[in-house]
Amino acid sequence: MSAPRSLVGAIVAGGASSRFDGAAKGLRTVGGHRIIDRVGDALRAVTSELILLSNAEDAECWLPGVTVIRDARSERGSLVGLHTALTHASSPILVVAWDMPFVTGELLALIVSRSVHEHFATLPTGVQGPEPFCATYTPACLPFVETALGSGDLRMSSMLRRLPSATLIPTSEVARIGDPARLFFNVNTLHDLTVAEEMDAAR
């Protein structure tokens, strides 16, 4: 797969990882590889630039050579991370949460291909609905993100409803690439990490 010249890949490393006793969950390993590296490899396959969104003091050490962008706003929440990415990038961005160990370059290539004619956001649909942190957004989304933040509504779902348009990739289309439950699996707890290891070993 060749990387589009104007697509930025953004790894979203947000949250305090409180369910990991404060440890950085994306630095945990699945199948012998850190989750952040697995996500980074998938993004590098389809993007021309990779950035890391994190406020952690040691974030620059996580992926040497990758630019770390810190939030300019004081609010906490996933929408702030998207605002940070859109503020940094002057071209479309592909954002992926750093706790998704089974995201693949093939899945991201599907999202990118479907986003070509979309002016705002392109999101795949998993078993629990749209996946806003495995999706593309264009700079045209920024005013809508800022409006949502200004209103104090930090819910991604609310912001997405404000957009004039969005492309949703149906679960059936995602399933042609792989099991959506696996592709979008999140490691949020130590139990999830154990499950992820079992899923990886079963392949």
Query: What are the extents of the domains in the chain?
Result: 8-201
Would you say residue 197 has pLDDT above 90?
yes
Would you say residue 16 has pLDDT above 80?
no
Rounded average pLDDT over 60-75: 89
Rounded average pLDDT over 92-96: 96
The Cα–Cα gap between 62 and 203 comes to 27
Would you say residue 21 has pLDDT above 70?
no
8-201 in CATH: which number? 3.90.550.10
pTM attached to this predicted model: 0.91
Of 73-82, 93-102, 140-149, 185-194, which gets the smallest average pLDDT?
A: 73-82
Number of neighbours of residue 176 by Cβ within 10 angstroms: 8
The Cα–Cα gap between 68 and 60 comes to 6
